[in-house]
């Protein structure tokens, strides 16, 4: 399974900076801002509701923080603002290679989140921005609890329910695949989809509590908006992920053109008056104390 995950992200890495990085950075930056407020209030002993925290106030630095599923190190770079040392781990060497260029001051290493190369109770803070969803919760969550010190924080975000833009994209793309009798790409031996195990906020709460976290707060909401110049950039973002792009590249040149036209037309009604496309994906955000 790990080899398949590596293969998937090796196929994605070449397109990451051009089509994926900008929206993912907006989402990571928003998470990091919330993380800093949680770190501040936890240090002061006033973290009673992470989803209702004042914006103002200096954030003290923690000693050691970990970014799980760091990819190119986007979230890890923001975490350096409130952690003296930041470690980033990921299963994909090509993604980490991109991160080493952009984040030379962060310790990046290839590692499996189910078996982290860290001693017990080593970390003050763990962050993850869509870095857990190729893991198996029953194995990954106890491992994260193992390396986090008592009273340490874990703060993450994952995809929630599918938003209207994404649903329209997926439905239109699926229709195109069916109309062309598109042969499926070779199956990858990937773990069960993360959302098979954790489908809503209640599932997250129960699973993190069972994994050994003493306090858990979790909420699903469209916490942040991402603006695309038009539907074309949104389609480019969606097609840059290897799970879709490999199928798209199996089309003939004419079929690719038709597919893009159909996708653009399906998404055009969502444009604002200025022609831009506003994406507000529901996210599941979680703050847990060890």
Same domain, 211 and 177: no
Q: Above 70 in pLDDT, residue 190?
A: no
Instruction: Flag whether pLDDT at 57 surpasses 60.
Output: yes
Q: Using one digit for the tens of pLDDT, what is the confidence trace for 136-187?
A: 899 999 999 999 999 999 999 999 999 999 999 999 999 998 877 654 545 5
In this prediction, residues 75-101 reach a mean pLDDT of 92
* Total domains present in the chain: 2
What is the pTM for the complete model shown?
Answer: 0.93
Q: What is the mean pLDDT of residues 269-290?
A: 97
Residue 88 above 60 pLDDT? yes
Same domain, 200 and 247: no
Burial 166-183 (b: 16+ CB within 10 A, else e): bebbeebbeebbeeeebe
Question: In this predicted structure, what is the pLDDT of residue 234?
Answer: 98
Q: What is the mean pLDDT of the chain?
A: 91
For residue 100, is it within any domain? Answer: yes
129 and 171 within one domain: no
Q: What tens digit of pLDDT does each residue of 101-130 get?
A: 766 679 999 999 999 999 999 999 999 999
The residue segments making up the domain with residue 176 are 164-186+228-270
Longest dimension (CA), the chain: 61
Tokens (6 digits) for 8: 């998937």
Q: Is residue 275 part of a domain?
A: no
175 in a structural domain: yes
Region of residue 69 (left: phi > 0; alpha: psi -120 to 50; beta: else)? left
Residue 94 belongs to some domain of the structure: yes
For residues 93 and 174, state if they share a domain: no
Separation in Å, CA 40 to CA 67, 114, 143: 18, 29, 25
CATH of the domain at 221: 3.40.50.150
Q: In the predicted model, is pLDDT for residue 51 greater than 60? A: yes
pLDDT band at 192; cut points 50, 70, 90: low
Same domain, 64 and 102: yes
């Amino acid at each position: 399974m790990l080899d398949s995950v590596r293969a998937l992200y090796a196929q994605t890495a070449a397109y990451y900076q051009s089509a994926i990085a900008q929206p993912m950075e907006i989402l990571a930056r928003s998470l990091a801002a919330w993380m800093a407020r949680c770190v501040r209030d936890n240090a002061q002993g006033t973290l009673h509701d992470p989803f209702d925290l004042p914006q103002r106030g200096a954030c003290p630095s923690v000693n050691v923080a970990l970014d799980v599923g760091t990819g190119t190190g986007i979230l890890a770079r923001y975490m350096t603002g409130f952690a003296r040392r930041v470690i980033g781990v990921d299963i994909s060497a090509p993604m980490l290679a991109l991160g080493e260029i952009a984040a030379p001051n962060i310790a990046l290493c290839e590692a499996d989140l189910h078996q982290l190369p860290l001693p017990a109770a080593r970390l003050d803070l763990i962050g993850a921005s869509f870095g857990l969803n190729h893991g198996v919760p029953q194995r990954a969550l106890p491992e994260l609890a193992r390396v986090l010190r008592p009273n340490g924080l874990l703060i993450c975000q994952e995809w929630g329910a599918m938003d209207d833009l994404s649903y329209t994209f997926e439905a239109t793309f699926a229709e195109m695949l069916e109309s062309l009798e598109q042969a499926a790409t070779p199956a990858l031996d990937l773990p069960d989809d993360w959302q098979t195990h954790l489908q809503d906020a209640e599932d997250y709460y129960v699973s993190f509590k069972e994994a050994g976290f003493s306090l858990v707060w979790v909420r699903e909401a469209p916490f942040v908006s991402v603006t695309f110049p038009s539907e074309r950039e949104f389609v480019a973002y969606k097609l840059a992920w290897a799970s879709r792009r490999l199928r798209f590249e199996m089309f003939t040149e004419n079929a690719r053109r038709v597919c893009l036209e159909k996708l653009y037309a399906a998404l055009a009604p969502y444009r604002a008056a200025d022609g831009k496309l506003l994406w507000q994906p529901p996210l599941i955000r979680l703050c847990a104390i060890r």
